[in-house]
Amino acid sequence: MMMNLSEARVLAGRAGAVMALLIISWLLVGSTASGVPQYEIDLNVNWDDGTFTGIARVTVENTAQTAIDELAFRLFANESEIYGTAAVRVLEASSAGETLALGVQSDATVLPVLLSTPLAPGQTTSLALRFEGIAAPSPLSAPPESTGYGILTKNPRSLVLTAFYPILAVLDEDGWLLDPTCGIGDVLWSAASDYSVTLRAIDAVSPATSGRLVSSETKDGHSVHRFEAESVRDFSLVLTLGYEEAELQSGSTTLRSWFTPANRVASAAALEVASDALTVYERRIGPLPSPEIDIIEVPLYRVAGVEFSGLILVSSSYALRPSDRFYDIIVSHEMAHQWFYAVVGSRPADAPWLDEGLATYLSNLFLEEIRGEEAAATEIRRWQEAHRTGRLAHPDLRIASPACRFPDSFTYSAFVYDAAAWFFHSVRHEVGDEAFFHALHLYYAKNAGGIGTEATLLASFENACACDLGELYGAFGFGSD
């Protein structure tokens, strides 16, 4: 999310390239591995008042080492600092015709569903969740003291629906990972999953979504659209009224922009930046499995852009200035998240720097290769200063601190975005381009469809350069409590 804005090496490279091709091939044909959650969602949207109802049928395998007696779901939209007054509520849960009890919520974003029979390791179960929700008012019509980013909102021209359904929490070998939320940074994260979504809405609006459109039919002023998406972190959508759609084919990926007519120049600029960024990142990191990416202009509050699987939100206020360098940074940053968030996941509460620092660094790589080295150097100097002043003001914090340790969004951004990007620049300077990008390539390939960690990323750099980076890591606070 964009806030405030050697022989050994050669042999390792060959082995890594083979591994990368195998993993990326799996992603390109869709996820068929066991343990991948499956969602079938029937969604009905009331455009006029921004309410919605639905049924989410979820199939999940117990990948833990012990039996589990409940399934944990996240209702991320109930995090008021991120989603404002938007809300999602589960009305009923059932399995094979039997009503399941809902457990006591530890907070508004956590919902346990109690199973009638414990689920043994390796066993699969399916259940249906009936839910309802409401979008918050548009940030442009909300008072200054309002909370939220504008990522589940309704205004006369668009209805933004992200985290609108109960999302299965991440399950590891030890159990459910129920990271806390604290109103800073991102909260949305999940296992890579497969989706089949049926959307019912008035015919006058056009949907931009994660995944691909499979079919559409219209009757009596309403349309029924069906979408499918494989191995994605989330399914998100925006309904638009009176927007203009533009399209650009970039390699094997279809890029689409959805902007209001007044921001036609920003729409074209977004497609150009996205296409150039795609070319740079695929060459440096690896192929992107997403067949299409939608970029949508919407009113946002306190953020300039937000990423979801195959879908990017760009703030309407920044779309007014598409020639500004920061517009390049917004779009290229959110594009980078399609590699580090959508393909390689991470825990935004525990290690927000893993995807935000990488996305910030890669957006600067876009500047370096497309806009010129001086444009990139300006940002690098800013990162260096942010790291210096941040450590002086907050010696108790480090780049890899959990999100809830940061006292405010400004400090969070200084460490998680800027200082983390300065760290990646320092590693690149230390090990050289060949080892640096080889490490990112292997980290991406090995963790595709999974959850990346600090340990695996740092080890990737040392493996790629066949060197000890402990002194450099220590200078940036890694390895300290």
Going from N- to C-terminal start, the domains of the chain cover 2-28+345-475, 37-155+163-237
**Structural Rg of the chain based on CA atoms:** 22
- The fold for domain 37-155+163-237 equals Immunoglobulin-like (2.60.40)
Cα(272)–Cα(269) distance, integer angstroms: 5
- Residue 138 pLDDT: 85
Three-class SS of residue 274?
A: helix
- Residue 2 pLDDT: 53
Q: What kind of architecture, by CATH, is found in domain 2-28+345-475?
A: Orthogonal Bundle (1.10)
Position 150, amino acid: G
Intervals of the chain under pLDDT 50: 3-33
From start to end of 135-263, where are the E strands?
136-137, 153-154, 158-161, 167-168, 170-172, 175-177, 193-202, 206-209, 212-219, 222-232, 237-240, 244-250, 253-259
SS3 for 330-395, per residue?
HHHHHHHCCCECCCEECCCCCCCHHHHHHHHHHHHHHHHHHHCHHHHHHHHHHHHHHHHHHHHHCC
List the Cα angle 435/440/442 in 5-degree steps: 90
- Residue 147 pLDDT: 81
- Residue 150 pLDDT: 95
Equal CATH topology for 2-28+345-475 and 37-155+163-237: no
Backbone torsion region of residue 418, taken as left when φ is above 0, otherwise alpha when ψ lies between -120 and 50, otherwise beta: alpha
Judged on CB neighbours under 10 Å (0-12, 13-18, 19+), 407 is exposed
Cα(418)–Cα(383) distance, integer angstroms: 5
- Residue 34 pLDDT: 57
Please list, residue by residue across 382-402, b when 16 or more beta carbons sit within 10 angstroms of its beta carbon and e when fewer do: ebbebbeebbeebeebbbbbb
- Residue 407 pLDDT: 96
| Whole-number Cα distances in Å, 105 to 21, 92, 109, 113 | 43, 14, 8, 10
Q: What tokens appear for 305 in the block? A: 């852009």
